[in-house]
Amino acid sequence: MRVLVATAVPVERDAVARAFPGPFEEVRLPGATLRRAAGHDLLAVGVGPALAAASTATALTVAALEGSPYGLVVSAGIGGGFAPQAPVGSLVVAEEITAADLGAETAEGFVPVTGLGFGVVTHRPPESLVREVVSATGARPGTVLTVSTVTGTASRAAALRAAHPRALAEAMEGFGVAEAAAAHGVPVLELRAVSNPVGPRDRAAWRIPDALAALTAGFGKLAPVLESWNPYDDQ
């Protein structure tokens, strides 16, 4: 099965790449360059859900047109963790990938786009795969929120917790990657290594090297799971 791993930025892609033996073949796509190794294609898709969706859709379309479609898309990278359930350095795997700020603000509060009669706000990765990822990597299973604005206050963090009690982490690409995967009928997974707590902004406190090391270690354990995973286990 071909797997597409979509990170936001090149340093995250390179952290994933360190889990695989090289060498990597470079494949130019419109707007991005794939690193290809042992059935896994690694792509830095850009920051935020819109660019992530566009880049992921491009890679999925190219693979489909080549007659060699992907069997799984993995959104991966660093993320903010909701304390105390997802401490810095821990791994989180999404049971649900939810767009937390896609909707409308009203006098009665936030209404998701589904409440306005449009689209979806949540994608669910295959349950059997999430179970296997938890068991192989020790990742904590829960909701991973996709936000367009990084949370920077305690009050916003509390509001997200209240609206999404199962949220363990937030990042900026998962929902975009999942929308592209869904358009192609391909299952999706999201794995985040926690670099910072969700809450008051303190960029100096982000532990990015620790999170990138956790991402590399997580993918080292994840690769054999992905190679043996049978998509039909979920049907």
Ligand X SMILES: O=C(O)c1cccc(C(=O)CC[C@H]2O[C@@H](n3cnc4c(=O)[nH]cnc43)[C@H](O)[C@@H]2O)c1
- Judged by the rule CB under 6 A, the positions of this chain that interact with ligand X are 8-9, 11-12, 47, 77-80, 147, 150-151, 170-173, 195-196, 198, 208
Specify the residue, 63 or 78, whose C-beta has the smaller distance to ligand X. 78
Which residue minimizes CB distance to ligand X?
80
Q: Residue 213 Cβ, how far from ligand X at the closest point, in Å? A: 12
Specify the residue, 63 or 73, whose C-beta has the smaller distance to ligand X. 73
Q: Residue 15 Cβ, how far from ligand X at the closest point, in Å? A: 8
Q: Angle 128-130-133 (CA atoms, 0-180°, nearest 5)?
A: 110
Distant-in-sequence, close-in-space partners of 204: CB < 8 Å, separation ≥ 6: none
Specify the residue, 8 or 222, whose C-beta has the smaller distance to ligand X. 8
Task: DSSP letter for 119, please.
Answer: S
Specify the residue, 200 or 224, whose C-beta has the smaller distance to ligand X. 200
- Taking a C-beta distance cutoff of 8 angstroms, is the pair 190, 64 a contact? no
Q: Residue 146 Cβ, how far from ligand X at the closest point, in Å? A: 8
Distant-in-sequence, close-in-space partners of 106: CB < 8 Å, separation ≥ 6: none
Q: Residue 172 Cβ, how far from ligand X at the closest point, in Å? A: 4
Specify the residue, 11 or 136, whose C-beta has the smaller distance to ligand X. 11
Dist. CA 214–CA 195, nearest whole Å: 10
Q: Residue 75 Cβ, how far from ligand X at the closest point, in Å? A: 9
Dist. CA 52–CA 172, nearest whole Å: 9
Dist. CA 140–CA 84, nearest whole Å: 12
